[in-house]
Chain A
């Protein structure tokens, strides 16, 4: 059974069967990754462009590795949106690369909706690698994959995402995907970081971290970034750590054995203390490995759709 869509733009509205298919496919690729020869010829002859308008070495490397392990021809294009004129960038760049006869585009862009816009400009299949505060579907898929591996299921699992939910594409994709898969989803953070009306989606909103820990089987901790000026929605990193930092004492106090996830890179001592980041509860490094398998699965499933389209 193929995916229901020829692009992966986000997890909002993506059917459960698609998510399950991606996770199941990733499982077999996860096994391939453990083999001495990690390469399969699945995407031989296909050209994939990694179109990164926002620097993200980690995500790009993960995609590139996945593409190469599937034997695709890989083209990397990086451009900072600031160095070029805003809108012209995407349209002109994309028209140019399409002339090179490409099959798939992996796009990372600071503007929400750019991957959708891209689908109106080109015929190639589009994979969203993060767009503004909108979605980062492959990150959420790898998070769900990790949960399923560790806990044996997603349905009924209590997952809480901690951090700046309002500005996090990782949070939004996780919320959409987890809800579809039947998890109990919560978020935790200062009220200024929780989008208005989020409960309408069926998400529990905690402002107290102890309540969040008591609720959770899984804590997905987001990286806290410092903004400037009036956009700052919390007083200081120190205060954030004091109120929301996940520490060993905090977990012990709540007598909780929880799975600790983090999309990386970690701000040690801010959202997560080192003792927890490196503890047996933490699956942060496994997430990275699973990320490659998930991206292989997505590329494979979309790449094989291309054959059917023809």
Chain B
């Protein structure tokens, strides 16, 4: 089947593409990228006013299946990803059972097979994520995990961290660390600041994040391996990453849209949708995260999409679970907060949301070139819209962004011989 995307603005810094082009796709493969294509095709789509970019990948999501299918399933997560502009997801292993052996990896791969979105499991570092013994890293590597993490917790035993780096390096896979020293965050629910004092909420200090980041960088330096710092939230952690990169260590880092879009002022309403781990920080942290994105210290923007049921989020703030969903607001928040404010160019955003995450986690490449898979995201950069959590494809609605006006909307995605345009999925084989 031949599909012709007409009049779109195509941007791909990998091939220095930045102009209006027509793109001819045949059976899911890009055939021609030219100024003007007139050819008899099965479907012609006029994308005037839209931008086509290499498809985005979200390398930090919680899909909740197996175990909490009431909150999200692999299928609903995939739908949310398509609506949110992503064609690749890396899903965290804190499921029930945890992704700590080949069977669970295979289960997830099977459940997501033949969909537009590629789903890549991340394996647990330790058995059952208990932080006691190494999980079956080799077996999971063979089954196709793209990294290892005990996300939700840091690995608190330093010897295990050392083993994890040494062992995972044999498969050239990164360790994704959730940086939090648990002894500093007992009962902690929000950033330690004057706001936690005013609200009387137990503090969760940035020190807990920085300490583990420093420790992991030191271990990495000592024994090698590959480290990816998940959801960096504190200014000091940005500095740790910056210094580690100066030393040419094999370390990368990510930030979530909520950590650069909100401060702990958002907690003042006691809205449990603002309860995330790591917690929302202060304006000076937000400024440092943005600086880190600008100077290249922070490589990746990922959502840490963490669905929770309404019932669980309706608890008192100290009892409610940590986490907010992000797949369907991530791109628009990034465009609103970073692109339209001229902090990042569209090319830089493509690096943070497509090129870098795909490279770090060795995911399928996305590029706008003839003979490559049509793995594309279509955006309308200037369209304004109001976030309506009730229209989300995700099974959960725990977002603090409901009612926000955002600028920049995902129009569609293409991948694996499928196209999802304006939320209509179509096979284009």
Contacts and interface: CB of A to CB of B under 8 A. Distances in A.
Interface of A: 12, 86-87, 90-91, 109, 111-114, 116-117, 131-135, 166, 169, 172, 195-198, 200-201, 230-231
A306 B351 CA distance: 58
B317 A86 contact: no
B200 A197 contact: no
B318 A198 contact: no
B371 interface: no
A195 B197 contact: yes
Given A198-B197, A231-B186, A133 B316 contact: no
B318 A116 contact: no
Contacts of B199: 112-113, 134
B316 A87 contact: yes
A91 B314 CA distance: 8
B183 A133 contact: no
Contacts of B317: 111-113, 117
A172 B194 CA distance: 12
Contacts of A201: 194, 197-198
B316 A196 contact: no
Contacts of A117: 270, 316-317
B316 A109 contact: yes
B183 A230 contact: yes
A238 to B, nearest CB: 25
Contacts of A166: 197
A113 B270 contact: yes
Contacts of A172: 197-198, 200
B107 interface: no
Given A116-B270, A230-B183, A231-B186, A111 B197 contact: no
26 contacts: A86-B319, A87-B311, A87-B319, A90-B316, A109-B316, A111-B316, A111-B317, A113-B317, A116-B269, A116-B270, A117-B270, A117-B316, A117-B317, A131-B200, A134-B199, A134-B200, A134-B201, A172-B200, A196-B192, A196-B203, A197-B193, A197-B194, A198-B197, A201-B194, A201-B197, A201-B198
Nearest to B189: A112
B109 to A, nearest CB: 36
B296 interface: no
A199 to B, nearest CB: 9
Interface string B63-76: 00000000000000
B320 interface: yes
Contact of B315 (A87, A195, A196, A230): A87
A125 B192 CA distance: 31
A133 B270 contact: no
Interface in B165-219: 183, 186, 192-194, 196-203, 205
A216 to B, nearest CB: 22
Given A112-B201, A133-B200, A134-B199, A200 B186 contact: no
Contacts of B319: 86-87, 111
Contacts of B186: 230-231
Given A113-B270, A172-B200, A200 B316 contact: no
A159 B270 CA distance: 30
Contacts of A111: 316-319
B315 A86 contact: yes
B197 A132 contact: no
Interface centre among B183, B194, B199, B201 (most CB of A within 10 A): B199
B318 A12 contact: no
Contacts of B192: 196
Nearest to B187: A231
Q: Most chain-B Cβ atoms within 10 A of its Cβ — which of A12, A112, A131?
A: A112
B247 to A, nearest CB: 31
Contacts of A131: 200
A166 B202 CA distance: 9
Contacts of A91: 314
Contacts of B203: 195-196
Nearest to A13: B198
B200 A135 contact: yes
A142 B319 CA distance: 31
A86 B314 CA distance: 11
A12 B197 CA distance: 11
Nearest 3 pairs of A and B residues by beta carbon: A134-B200, A87-B315, A113-B270
Contacts of A132: 200-201, 318
B25 to A, nearest CB: 50
Given A112-B318, A113-B199, A132-B318, A200 B270 contact: no
Contacts of B311: 87
A261 B200 CA distance: 23
Given A117-B270, A231-B186, A12 B198 contact: yes
A231 B202 CA distance: 12
Nearest to B317: A113
A134 B197 CA distance: 8
A116 B200 CA distance: 13
Interface string B287-302: 0000000000000000
Contacts of B315: 86-87
A201 B320 CA distance: 28
A237 to B, nearest CB: 22
Contacts of A200: 194
B184 to A, nearest CB: 10
B197 A87 contact: no
A240 B316 CA distance: 33
A79 B128 CA distance: 36
Nearest to A172: B200
